[in-house]
Chain A
């Protein structure tokens, strides 16, 4: 019932070739090709509706590709339980009657198997994950009582409990105040030390440049993929953002900084 595919050690953690995705007849992603190595930290930037969420959902094996291939350690994502998709906070029902510990334990259920109940080892995973993200004291709280930053940390803890090796974070920084953003970015460094590969969709080009190894610039097609210096050059950005790009005091500013309406939000 719950497949577990073995990882081929000589394969990249993520290898995407000539990937196209159509959503409701429209092309959401066209001819995307790139690969990631284990432990990389990659920011995915692009205008609203560029296909960032769609890309994540295809990588997670939630949406099927129309053409091309997604390979995780050498095989399709559908058999892997090592990929975690962290939802946008606005797509979560925060009134749902579950505690922080309940949500993090959900990450374990593929490991529990059918009819399995959590054992001590699973609770140890949950506690360690909450410890890592710094919200161990909030385990019993109902999820609606968390702040935005704590909500995001809870989902990272869930991905850790899942033993995810590839974490796809959809706009984790959106709507957070600056200290929460800084805290979360520091946590990404911690994940990198644990060998977790992280892809983060973001609107903040400045943070993308400062905190990530590489930047993937997306607007249905892959406009650029590389170090901040090459990707964030104005003439490259112009190709992705078009008229939505402005120069303010010698810095590039994009008009869209919001999150919602990206792709086909929350749809399976």
Chain B
């Protein structure tokens, strides 16, 4: 017992580890709840693209602030919101197929971001932090802002619960009920964008999509109701964050990939063994 206790408590003597755990749990919960809509609406590719698209914004912030980390959150936030509305508008124009349009923007912006960062001599280390996250580098100040923005996202998801549910399940019904469907769609895109900005330092842009879709997809195999899907998804994501960080601490694996691998392991377990719907119970 004491051995387990020591094993669990030992990392907590470091302030960066405590902050990292708080950030991982917070990001996990926000991503998982918003991710429920990403999964139900089939927006995984949009989420992945959005995460990559913020890289040039972060890169410019990185140059302007001479490598300081604090301002990067704001650069990520601004770029993400602009990119989400931009991608939303382009996909509605209908001249190029939606996924093709997203692909072009996403790859182009990502390349631009890498190009900007590569002008700095020590770019390799910093680039890997942007790509794969650096949850142990979260400052107390960033943690506060992540909590504030993450909290606002969760509150809005709750406040617009019935509207988001309806535009996702049946947009024609939403129109005949005269809901402001376009504005609600844009609000949802902005909420995904804010979530991406909040999560950037924890998992990085390259692994972001996993936090958005993996816990939510796991939850979708375990329940048939949206509220419980959100709760299960958030719980799984929070545990993935904690377990992933301990794995990262003891095995010396990068934190972002350890968190994502834990979430993926949960998914595989449920995919194989879920009651009634697991692969093993099917003929």
The size of the chain A interface, using a CB distance under 8 A, is 36
- A144: B residues at CB distance < 8 A: 224
The dominant DSSP class at the B interface is helix
- Per the bound structure, the CA–CA distance linking A211 and B165 in Å amounts to 35
Q: Is A241 an interface residue (CB 8 A)?
A: no
Within 8 A of B (CB), among A124-145: 142, 144
- B172: A residues at CB distance < 8 A: 57, 60, 62, 85, 87, 268
Digitize B171-183: 1 where CB-to-A-CB distance is under 8 Å, 0 elsewhere: 1110111111100
Digitize A158-169: 1 where CB-to-B-CB distance is under 8 Å, 0 elsewhere: 100010000000
- B163: A residues at CB distance < 8 A: 109
A83 touches B229 (CB 8 A): no
Partner of B176, one of A60, A93, A115, A117: A60
Partner of A2, one of B175, B178, B225: B178
Shortest Cβ gap from A85 to chain B (Å):
5
Digitize A61-87: 1 where CB-to-B-CB distance is under 8 Å, 0 elsewhere: 110000000000000001111011101
- Per the bound structure, the CA–CA distance linking A78 and B178 in Å amounts to 7
Q: Is B40 an interface residue (CB 8 A)?
A: yes
Given contacts A97-B223, A106-B166, contact A61 B176 (CB under 8 A): yes
Q: Is B121 an interface residue (CB 8 A)?
A: no
22 A-B Cβ contacts within 8 A? A57-B172, A60-B176, A62-B176, A78-B178, A83-B176, A87-B170, A87-B172, A92-B170, A97-B220, A97-B229, A102-B225, A103-B169, A106-B162, A106-B166, A107-B173, A109-B162, A110-B177, A117-B162, A158-B173, A162-B177, A268-B175, A268-B181
Q: Is A180 an interface residue (CB 8 A)?
A: no
Shortest Cβ gap from A42 to chain B (Å):
18
Q: In the A-B complex, list the 8 residue pairs whose CB atoms are closest, starting with the nearest.
A: A142-B224, A110-B177, A62-B175, A60-B176, A97-B226, A109-B162, A106-B166, A97-B224
- Per the bound structure, the CA–CA distance linking A241 and B4 in Å amounts to 78
Partner of A93, one of B166, B169, B224, B225: B169
- A80: B residues at CB distance < 8 A: 178
- A61: B residues at CB distance < 8 A: 175-176, 178
Partner of A3, one of B162, B168, B175, B178: B178
- Per the bound structure, the CA–CA distance linking A1 and B160 in Å amounts to 13
A109 touches B176 (CB 8 A): no
- B180: A residues at CB distance < 8 A: 1
Partner of A85, one of B169, B173, B229: B173
A98 touches B176 (CB 8 A): no
Partner of A81, one of B165, B178, B226: B178
B178 touches A99 (CB 8 A): no
B178 touches A98 (CB 8 A): no
Cβ-closest chain A residue relative to B229: A97
B175 touches A97 (CB 8 A): no
- B9: A residues at CB distance < 8 A: none
A110 touches B179 (CB 8 A): yes
- Per the bound structure, the CA–CA distance linking A255 and B168 in Å amounts to 36
Shortest Cβ gap from A70 to chain B (Å):
13
